[in-house]
Amino acid sequence: MRLPHPVLLGELEELREFAVEIGIEQRAQQLFREVWHRPAALDADAGSVEDYAGGVFKELRFLHGRASQLGYRVRGGHAVCSVLEDGRGVEARVWVGDYDGYSETETGPLVFTDAAGRALKLGQVGPVAWSESMRMAAALYAGRDIEDEERAA
């Protein structure tokens, strides 16, 4: 049985409630996967998302390790999430750094490219690629060093 990506399901919350009621168990957790919907007020001509940029890590190797642990490749200083949507390849990239593994680094903006590596505008990114890329960016950012943030507050 194949399920569409949950971001494509119109009544996702109702489906999740029904699945819990009848005791459905999933190995891949597709139905309960976190989803992000593209905001209606989004600037479709923008080239990046800044929501999860600026997450500071004391050492580059910690951020690279986090990306690997979450299942993302690191290539050319970017954590990369590749998505095939409607027969078209889209690659989401978040800058994580690529110099000294013991130096401080921070997450950069989320950008998108097509299969040929050409930059995409946010309006060209489909709902599945949007959701999966925001999921990646949020997960990377969540591992940031919050001790320094708390001291600064």
Q: Is the pLDDT of residue 64 over 60?
A: yes
- pLDDT reported for residue 3: 67
Tens of pLDDT along 112-127? Answer: 999 999 999 999 999 9
Half-sphere exposure at residue 63, Cβ-oriented, CA atoms within 13 angstroms? 37
Tens of pLDDT along 70-92? Answer: 999 999 999 999 999 999 999 99
- pLDDT reported for residue 48: 97
- pLDDT tier at 145, thresholds 50, 70, 90: very high
- pLDDT reported for residue 149: 60
Q: What is the pTM of this model?
A: 0.83
- pLDDT reported for residue 122: 97
